[in-house]
């Protein structure tokens, strides 16, 4: 009895209560900070996503104008020979100018005509007519109904990025152009459509014609090369270092260097790639093959470190069990340890590769920061990459690039999230619990 009272008094003494209170408030303080940290992180992420999606989503649709185009023979093919190569060089600009002047016959003033032509995308419309005639020379002389992109300024106006109430001198479109556009919109000649161009075209100097297809293919090719080079080499190196290598000064030295390499700025790998792959081996500039090799070098340390820690996390009793049943060391490692570490290895590899997807700096040195007019079809053809495309677009003057830059970022983020989701899926599927 007396013991319990004394114990109670020890726990209920003023000092004890004070200590208890201090412990409790320390705990609630920590919880508060934790929640605050999560809240701050979510807020920043939300802000980032919101600003990117908010500016970017409008790039997924675009305004097109339906227009009757007469392919006048005297302009397109004055000699009447229908040679596709000559037809391709013909003055289609004039054809498109005549087409839009014909829609607004009341416009006669030269300056007004120039302004009128700026309603449609000069290169977009011209090239559409050009390629149709090049593919099918028999179209010369006929009248076609085409759906051509409007110019970037008109598109921006209709998307509400240009303030109609601003003084005329301060905006890119004149009052008269606004009147034409509104008239065309009212009759349904200007319509908004899903922007397929953005997904099927290569880079272009004109925002309304620019797409990410070339950059996406370039990025995928480079990632493919990076994956097939860095994963086998990285996993192999890690397995050897972890399981077979003798513990001596040399392996310690190698290990320290691998850890250091993981922290080297990525531009350094670009310089290495320039010196080794381009200058020494004479590989072509701007090729996804070289880009992939450089990115592989960059992800190698990440993969080695992830693989080693995954191998270390496998319970030693598994290997002991295998050995005690008569398996050789190699069998124990490859039949039991590596498969059990596979989820961790895969996660590390995919995250390493996903990191490589976002890199621009190493690609600068090997010439992938470039404007490429064609979608690459082999690993040695010149290509750009998605982050490079974002970088180049963000530095362009026209206002319409802002939404396209954000849209390209949305695509990049989607790819990254998909890759991480695959990593998580594989980890959960392959993970073995007991």
Spell out the long-range contacts of 410-418 with Cβ–Cβ below 8 A and sequence spacing 24 or more. 410/52, 410/53, 410/56, 410/57, 411/212, 411/216, 411/386, 412/357, 412/358, 412/386, 412/387, 413/52, 415/357, 415/386, 416/354, 416/357, 416/358
| CA distances in angstroms from 304 to 108, 195, 226, 232, 399, listed in the order given | 71, 42, 14, 10, 44
Query: 219 burial class (0-12, 13-18, 19+ CB within 10 angstroms)?
Result: buried
339 near other proteins, rule: CB under 8 A: yes
Instruction: Pick out residues in 360-389 that bind other proteins (CB under 8 A).
Output: 367, 369-374, 378-380, 382
Task: Write down the least CB distance from residue 403 to other proteins, Å.
Answer: 13
Stretch that binds other proteins, among 169-177, 178-186, 249-257, 308-316 (CB under 8 A): 169-177
> Any residues with CB less than 8 A from the CB of 355 and at least 6 apart, and which?
298, 299, 302
282 near other proteins, rule: CB under 8 A: yes
169 near other proteins, rule: CB under 8 A: yes
Candidate list 61, 82, 88, 104; residue touching other proteins; CB under 8 A = 88
| DSSP 8-class letter at 60 | G
Distance CA 376, CA 138 (A): 31
Task: Write down the least CB distance from residue 166 to other proteins, Å.
Answer: 6
| DSSP 8-class letter at 379 | T
93 near other proteins, rule: CB under 8 A: yes
Residue closer to other proteins by CB (options 142, 374) is 374
Instruction: Pick out residues in 198-227 that bind other proteins (CB under 8 A).
Output: 203-206, 224-225, 227
340 near other proteins, rule: CB under 8 A: yes
Task: Write down the least CB distance from residue 27 to other proteins, Å.
Answer: 41
Whether 215 contacts 388, CB under 8 Å? yes
Residue closer to other proteins by CB (options 35, 424) is 424
Distance CA 289, CA 285 (A): 10
422 near other proteins, rule: CB under 8 A: no
Q: How many CB atoms lie within 10 A of CB 287?
A: 26
Candidate list 336, 355, 358, 416; residue touching other proteins; CB under 8 A = 336
Instruction: Pick out residues in 116-155 that bind other proteins (CB under 8 A).
Output: 122-123, 126-127, 130-131
Give 67's Cβ-side CA count (13 Å radius). 30
Residue closer to other proteins by CB (options 137, 339) is 339
| CA distances in angstroms from 46 to 38, 53, 54, 200, 291, listed in the order given | 12, 10, 11, 30, 32
89 near other proteins, rule: CB under 8 A: yes
Residue closer to other proteins by CB (options 41, 421) is 421
Task: Write down the least CB distance from residue 52 to other proteins, Å.
Answer: 15
Candidate list 399, 413, 419, 422; residue touching other proteins; CB under 8 A = 399
Query: Backbone phi, then psi, for 258, in 5-degree steps?
Result: -65, -45
> Any residues with CB less than 8 A from the CB of 35 and at least 6 apart, and which?
none
Residues in touch with other proteins (CB under 8 A): 88-89, 93, 114, 122-123, 126-127, 130-131, 162-163, 166, 169-172, 203-206, 224-225, 227-229, 231-232, 235, 281-287, 289, 334-336, 338-340, 342-343, 345-346, 367, 369-374, 378-380, 382, 392, 394-399, 402, 426, 429-430, 432
């Amino acid at each position: 009895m007396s013991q319990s009272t004394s114990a109670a008094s020890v726990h209920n003494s003023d000092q004890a209560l004070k200590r208890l209170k201090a412990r409790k408030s320390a705990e609630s303080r920590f919880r508060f900070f934790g929640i605050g940290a999560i809240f701050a992180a979510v807020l920043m992420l939300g802000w980032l996503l919101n600003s990117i999606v908010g500016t970017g989503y409008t790039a997924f649709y675009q305004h097109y104008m339906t227009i009757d185009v007469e392919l006048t023979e005297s302009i397109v093919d004055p000699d009447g020979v229908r040679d596709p190569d000559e037809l391709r060089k013909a003055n289609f600009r004039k054809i498109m100018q005549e087409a839009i002047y014909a829609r607004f016959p009341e416009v006669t003033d030269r300056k007004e005509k120039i302004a009128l032509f700026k309603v449609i995308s000069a290169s977009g419309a011209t090239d559409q007519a050009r390629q149709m005639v090049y593919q099918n020379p028999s179209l010369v002389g006929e009248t076609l109904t085409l759906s051509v992109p409007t110019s970037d300024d008109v598109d921006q106006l209709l998307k509400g990025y240009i303030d109609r109430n601003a003084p005329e001198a301060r905006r890119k479109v004149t009052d008269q152009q606004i009147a034409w556009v509104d008239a065309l919109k009212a009759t349904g000649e200007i319509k908004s459509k899903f922007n397929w161009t953005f997904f099927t075209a290569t880079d272009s100097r004109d925002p309304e014609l620019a797409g990410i297809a070339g950059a996406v293919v370039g990025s995928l090719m480079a990632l493919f090369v990076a994956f097939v080079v860095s994963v086998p080499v990285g996993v192999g190196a890690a397995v050897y270092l972890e399981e077979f290598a003798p513990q001596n000064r040399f392996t310690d030295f190698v290990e320290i260097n691998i850890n250091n390499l993981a922290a080297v700025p990525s531009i350094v790998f670009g310089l290495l790639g320039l010196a080794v792959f381009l200058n020494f081996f004479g590989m072509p500039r701007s090729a996804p093959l070289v880009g992939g090799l450089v990115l592989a070098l960059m992800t190698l340390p990440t993969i080695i470190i992830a693989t080693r820690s995954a191998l270390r996390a496998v319970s030693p009793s598994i290997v002991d069990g295998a050995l005690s049943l008569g398996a050789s060391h190699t069998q124990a490692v490859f039949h039991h340890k590596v498969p059990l570490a596979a989820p961790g290895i895969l996660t590390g590899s995919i995250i390493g590769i996903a990191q490589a997807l976002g890199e621009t700096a190493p690609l600068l040195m090997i010439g992938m920061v470039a404007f490429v007019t064609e979608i690459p079809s082999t690993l040695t053809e010149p290509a750009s990459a998605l982050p490079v495309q974002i970088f180049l677009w963000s530095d362009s003057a026209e206002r319409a690039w802002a939404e396209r830059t954000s849209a390209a970022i949305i695509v990049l983020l989607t790819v990254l999230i998909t890759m991480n989701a695959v990593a998580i899926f594989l980890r959960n599927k392959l993970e073995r619990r007991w």
